[in-house]
Amino acid sequence: MTQIMEEGQDCTVGCSSECCSEETLSTCKEGGHCKNGSCLQPNAAMTCLRKDAQGNNCCPDDSVSSITITSKLPTTTCCKDGHCEPTDTSYRNLMGTNTQSNKNNCSGTDGEEGNSVPYSDEASAVCGLKRQDVMESKPSTESAPSTECDATEVKTLSQPSGKDAKDTVETVANGPEGIDHREQHGEILETNRKALQNGPGSGSEAKDDEAALDEIVTAIDSFTALDDNQLSFKRGDQIHVISKNNEEWWWAEHNGCYGYIPVNHVSPKTLEELESELWQDDEYFGSYSSLKLQLEMLNDKPRTLAYRTAIEKNAEFLKDKVIMDLGCGTGILSLFCARYGRPNKIYAVEASRMADKAKKLMLYNGYWDVVKVVHDRVENITLPEKVDLIISEWMGTLLLFELMVESVLIARDKFLARGGVMWPSHAKLYLVPCRAQKQYDEKIACWEDQYGFDFSPLIPSAKKEFFGRPVFNHELDLQDCLAEWETVLVMDMKRFRVEELEEITQEFEFQVTREGTFHGFASWFSVDFGGFPSSEPPVVLNTGPEHEMTHWKQDLFMMDQPTAVEEGDSIVGSILIKRNPEWRRHLRVMFTWEVLKAGVRWGTQKQKQFLLWR
């Protein structure tokens, strides 16, 4: 009985040449193993296809007995002293049992001890085959172009490893006698195609992975190959997974080259899906799809009326202009612009499902012909024209939280016409040291006595849980301000750059004007609506404690230890606002500060980081 062998199988009875080419063994005997298109038979005669520098066959007929295939990894075969010896790869952590190790690295230039003789050009191996060269069952009769990671035809598959098309597979467009062997080796090519697809496993595990052969993954970070067995790729590249060897390394193809890729650098999701997750788009835009949040903003009279007033006062400059309302929500700002400004066109851009409701409102209020609602992220859209005004309400906690401002800046760079206007045109962030006795008593001091029991061991945990993040919606009393507030950030929306959002640092020095207990810092912001050549001062929206309350209120950053201060003391330090490198809508805020009495340090310098919110 003849057994038809496939890649990775062991021979139990007489086997046909399905696995083995005429150049190796025509028949696998009992105990043989089909590996990379060749039959490896212990103690059996075999002609090695590799040639040394002089063009002679590398291996004598009996040298195959020295090769033992015990690993699922591909191994480079070196021509040394007339023997084909597998080298030790750098992936010992991936190998169940190492193959016979060779001390040299196949990079020598002579046949002396410790060096390997390089292959001839005819028999050079290829690190990474072009996909078209191995996926066709029968090779073309035309010579393939000589390019990186390319070969005219595959004769035997040695070690696909992803570096260059001149290092792993032998080419035989024209054999030693000058005869075109491509037709007669079509069957061999198909065998090697299977071997390449199965990758380094080549056994039953390769069959198990057959369903994953068409899996495409996305590089979430760039990677540079450390050796010939690895693939280099860049963030965003699409990579074809061939076999999943273990939890850390997969065998894959990219741009026609084959090799290992680190699993923690890739994802089955697209880069757009990944960025959407990191930006929390589903959560973010989902929240703005609710009427509850939209109503909260509409009911914020100081906010909404500031925008309407700015539009009314500059109506003459908006006439016949093109406007973009970015993050339009229900479309209230577009409606203001359409009614008072009489522009030529308004592009109301909204990424959340609220866009559908905005379209209904434009139609119902008779502005469907002026206002075009665009349901998409501004980063994804194209417009047939530039815009004269970009109006948006992008501000959040600590002015920047949610980082919608990045989309505004991107829209500015893509769509704003020369001489165009940004609304808001400027933004400022303010900071002041303050008392917060009520908040401290309710969340921290209360643990000192609970129904006659001492719960103070819980105070450190309480500080972390209640005050590890800023207290938003804080209503700051002017009497709790211990000094005059300072401006720690100024943004000119025509000039501020996206990359500046990554890290913002500002030093401060507050002169204490009111005796009391310093519990932390409070913050708020203001924006103005300038840019047009109006004789009147620009409209200003200020969310501070001396102005009418908005839905933003103020933000409170509670320090861990209250500090008594007196009039004339100084609170000196800095604020660092750093963008979360992973969760891109989130911030980390670091305060560094100390108290000076009569210019002399009192106590030690303190530091605390706040998550906003991750």
Domain at 141, CATH number: 2.30.30.40
Mean pLDDT of 564-570: 96
Q: Strands 371-375 and 345-350: what pairing? A: parallel
CB 529 within 8 A of CB 306: yes
Q: Strands 471-474 and 554-565: what pairing? A: antiparallel
More confident of the two residues 264 and 167: 264
Q: Say if residue 448 is in the same domain as residue 595.
A: yes
SS3 of 51-107: the string is: ECCCCCECCCCCHHHHCCCCCCCCCCEEEECCEEEECCCCCHHHCCCCCCCCCCCCC
- Nearest-angstrom CA–CA distance, 573 and 603: 14
Residue at 173 is within a domain: yes
Could you tell me where the beta strands, DSSP code E, fall in 192-339? Answer: 215-219, 238-244, 249-254, 257-262, 266-267, 322-326
Q: Say if residue 456 is in the same domain as residue 589.
A: yes
Please choose, from the candidates 271, 272, 277, 200, the residue with its C-alpha nearest in 3D space to the C-alpha of residue 233.
Answer: 271
* End-to-end CA separation in angstroms for the chain: 67
Tokens standing for residue 432: 């002041």
The burial class, CB within 10 Å (0-12 / 13-18 / 19+), for 492 is exposed
pTM here is 0.59
Which range marks the domain in which residue 379 is found? Answer: 281-393
Confidence check: pLDDT of 156 > 80: no
- Nearest-angstrom CA–CA distance, 128 and 151: 9
Please choose, from the candidates 418, 597, 569, 401, the residue with its C-alpha nearest in 3D space to the C-alpha of residue 489.
Answer: 401
Q: Say if residue 455 is in the same domain as residue 572.
A: yes
Please choose, from the candidates 376, 420, 409, 434, the residue with its C-alpha nearest in 3D space to the C-alpha of residue 532.
Answer: 420
Q: pLDDT band for position 581 (50/70/90)?
A: confident
Q: Say if residue 10 is in the same domain as residue 53.
A: no
Q: Say if residue 119 is in the same domain as residue 136.
A: no
Residue at 238 is within a domain: yes
Q: Say if residue 197 is in the same domain as residue 82.
A: no
pLDDT at 9: 55
Residue at 159 is within a domain: yes
Q: Say if residue 461 is in the same domain as residue 514.
A: yes
Q: Is 402 a catalytic residue?
A: yes
Q: pLDDT band for position 303 (50/70/90)?
A: very high
Q: Of the candidates 79, 104, 123, which is a domain's last residue?
A: 123
Q: pLDDT band for position 600 (50/70/90)?
A: confident
Residue at 85 is within a domain: yes
Q: Say if residue 100 is in the same domain as residue 243.
A: no
Q: How many CB atoms lie within 10 A of CB 197?
A: 20
Tokens standing for residue 357: 């409701």
CB 470 within 8 A of CB 589: yes
Tokens standing for residue 47: 């002609």
Residue at 408 is within a domain: no
The per-type count for the chain, helices as H runs and strands as E runs, is 13, 24
Confidence check: pLDDT of 551 > 60: yes
In 3-state terms, what secondary structure has residue 119? coil
Q: Domain tally for the chain?
A: 5
Please choose, from the candidates 486, 609, 508, 602, the residue with its C-alpha nearest in 3D space to the C-alpha of residue 559.
Answer: 609
pLDDT at 583: 80
More confident of the two residues 97 and 590: 590
- Nearest-angstrom CA–CA distance, 553 and 309: 21
Q: pLDDT band for position 281 (50/70/90)?
A: low
- Name the catalytic one among 170, 253, 350, 402: 402
CB 325 within 8 A of CB 334: yes
Q: Say if residue 111 is in the same domain as residue 141.
A: no
What's the distance, CA 593 to chain centroid? Answer: 34
CB 199 within 8 A of CB 160: yes
Query: CB neighbours of 584 closer than 8 A, spacing ≥ 6?
Result: 275, 278, 279, 403
- Give tens-digit pLDDT for 211-222: 445 789 999 888
Q: pLDDT band for position 598 (50/70/90)?
A: confident
- Nearest-angstrom CA–CA distance, 306 and 528: 9
- Nearest-angstrom CA–CA distance, 544 and 554: 7
- Average pLDDT value over all residues in the chain: 74
- Nearest-angstrom CA–CA distance, 197 and 579: 43
Q: What's the Cα-to-Cα distance from 565 to each of 149, 160, 485, 522, rounded to whole Å?
A: 71, 71, 16, 16
Q: pLDDT band for position 68 (50/70/90)?
A: very low
Q: pLDDT band for position 287 (50/70/90)?
A: low
- At position 148, the amino acid (one-letter code) is E
Q: Is 393 a catalytic residue?
A: yes
- Nearest-angstrom CA–CA distance, 268 and 375: 27
In 3-state terms, what secondary structure has residue 305? helix
Residue at 409 is within a domain: no
Residue at 31 is within a domain: yes
Q: pLDDT band for position 44 (50/70/90)?
A: very low
Domain at 352, CATH number: 3.40.50.150
- Nearest-angstrom CA–CA distance, 353 and 322: 24
Q: Which of 75-89, 151-165, 345-359 has the lowest mean pLDDT?
A: 151-165
- Nearest-angstrom CA–CA distance, 108 and 105: 7
Q: How many CB atoms lie within 10 A of CB 417?
A: 14
Q: Say if residue 110 is in the same domain as residue 144.
A: no
- Give tens-digit pLDDT for 226-278: 888 899 999 889 999 999 888 889 999 999 899 999 998 898 877 666 665 55
Q: Of the candidates 369, 393, 417, which is a domain's last residue?
A: 393
- Nearest-angstrom CA–CA distance, 152 and 173: 6
Q: Say if residue 430 is in the same domain as residue 565.
A: yes
- At position 553, the amino acid (one-letter code) is K
Q: What letter does residue 11 receive in the DSSP assignment?
A: P
- Nearest-angstrom CA–CA distance, 188 and 196: 12
Confidence check: pLDDT of 91 > 50: no
Q: How many CB atoms lie within 10 A of CB 470?
A: 24
Confidence check: pLDDT of 96 > 60: no
Query: CB neighbours of 77 closer than 8 A, spacing ≥ 6?
Result: 50, 67, 84, 85, 86, 87, 158, 159
Q: Say if residue 451 is in the same domain as residue 525.
A: yes
Domain at 465, CATH number: 2.70.160.11
- Name the catalytic one among 22, 393, 442, 567: 393
Tokens standing for residue 564: 């008594």
Q: Of the candidates 84, 99, 123, which is a domain's last residue?
A: 123
Query: CB neighbours of 157 closer than 8 A, spacing ≥ 6?
Result: 36, 37, 168, 169, 192, 195, 196
pLDDT at 61: 40
- Nearest-angstrom CA–CA distance, 587 and 477: 26
Q: What's the Cα-to-Cα distance from 219 to each of 106, 153, 175, rounded to whole Å?
A: 31, 30, 40
- Nearest-angstrom CA–CA distance, 611 and 530: 33
- Give tens-digit pLDDT for 449-472: 999 999 999 999 999 999 999 998
Q: Which of 126-130, 340-344, 408-412, 533-537 has the lowest mean pLDDT?
A: 126-130
Residue at 273 is within a domain: no
Percentage, residues of the chain above pLDDT 90: 52
Tokens standing for residue 243: 């076999």
